[in-house]
Amino acid sequence: MPEFMRSAGPLGRTTEDIAHLMTVLSGADERDPWSFPPEATQYQDALSRDVKGLRIGILTDMGFGPKPEAAVVEAVEDAGRALAADGAIVEPFVSPLDEDCYEPIDRWLMIRGYAEMLSLPPHEPDEFLDYVRDWCQPAKTMSALDAWALLGQISRMRVKLFAAMEGFDYLLAPTLPVVNFPAEEPGMFRDKPLGHTVFTAMFNQTGQPASSVCFRLDRRKLPIGVQLIAARGREDVLFAEETITGLAARVILYNDEEHSMDEVTYQIIKAIGCSYAEAEDLTWEVHTRGKAVVYSGDMTDCLRVSSVLEEIALHTEVQM
């Protein structure tokens, strides 16, 4: 049975990988009511798409739910600036949602989760994560009329988002409102395990194609995702993301009071292989300005440079 609450998609290391996978996955399937008619689109041919003239909205507030952290907002806005520099028309997108539109999704998932739990073979109470078991218990008292009302709320949310999207080629939004939450937790909130998905769950319900890319790493080397959301049937537009994923990454080195100028200079030489004079200039810039871009290039190379600099506990950040 096809899934109508969530949308699956390919996962890859590069935009080109995703494009080839999409070409294979995008065929029609008579078992799936979300499926489109057969098409011969070769998504890998859209990788060189020009973003000039595309109208792109910046969405950093869904109108409800947790507000994005400053680092997340900055990443989304910087992605917008990168596309504007290539000729896109970038402007704020104001969410039309003024109530908690995730709540009916959460309650519907409770019903499904409770039904799935009951369908399993006999099991001991401790064989379930306690917070998952406790989260879906309210479904026991929900009626068929309650479930029908939840689907109606979700449908009305879809209509509002479709109307607000009119005239935009796609949106840029956070993937998550936070950079991270503890790995052992189900999400930001135990009583609402998927409450952190406010920027992704809505577009799963509308059926709009969306793609998340790692736009930068924070100072802890944790990824900050930026989501691209296109209009229904416009998967090809998403491959304009090549513009932002193709940007050179950079390593920023921050000043501190623990290391001498010579220590920093020699570690920069070790990390990037530059001359003593070049490393000395970079060290002076870090010292006088508080930080400096010491290397630009491929993300993999930037991670290597950052790791070498941090061998002596220097403070770095990798950005795109």
Q: Would you give per-residue pLDDT tens digits along the chain (320 residues)? A: 556 666 677 888 777 888 888 888 777 777 777 777 777 778 887 776 678 898 999 999 999 999 999 999 999 998 898 889 888 999 999 999 989 999 999 999 999 999 998 898 888 877 878 888 899 999 999 999 999 999 999 999 999 999 999 999 989 999 999 999 998 888 898 888 889 999 999 988 888 888 888 888 887 878 899 999 998 878 777 775 555 555 567 899 999 999 999 999 999 999 999 999 999 999 999 999 999 999 988 777 888 999 999 999 999 988 77
Three-class secondary structure of residue 172 per DSSP: strand
Contact 55, 169 (CB under 8 A): yes
Task: State the residue for tokens 């930080």.
Answer: 291
- CB atoms inside a 10 Å sphere around CB 147: 16
User: Tokens at residue 247, please?
Assistant: 């940007």
CA proximity to 202, closest of 285, 100, 122, 271:
100
CA proximity to 233, closest of 86, 88, 24, 22:
22
> What is residue 49's predicted lDDT score, i.e. its pLDDT?
65
Q: Round to whole Å and give the CA distance between 231 and 35.
A: 15
> What is residue 44's predicted lDDT score, i.e. its pLDDT?
80
User: Tokens at residue 124, please?
Assistant: 């001991």
All residues at 6 or more sequence positions from 45 whose CB lies less than 8 Å from its CB, including other chains:
none
DSSP at 180 = -
User: Tokens at residue 233, please?
Assistant: 């049937």
> What is residue 196's predicted lDDT score, i.e. its pLDDT?
92
Contact 239, 19 (CB under 8 A): yes
Task: State the residue for tokens 């503890």.
Answer: 182
Number of alpha carbons in the 13 Å side-chain half-sphere of residue 134: 10
Q: Round to whole Å and give the CA distance between 138 and 254.
A: 50
Domains and CATH numbers, the chain: 15-101+139-245 (3.90.1300.10), 249-319 (3.30.1390.10)
> What is residue 63's predicted lDDT score, i.e. its pLDDT?
94
All residues at 6 or more sequence positions from 135 whose CB lies less than 8 Å from its CB, including other chains:
110, 113, 190, 191, 192, 193
Q: Round to whole Å and give the CA distance between 229 and 226.
A: 10
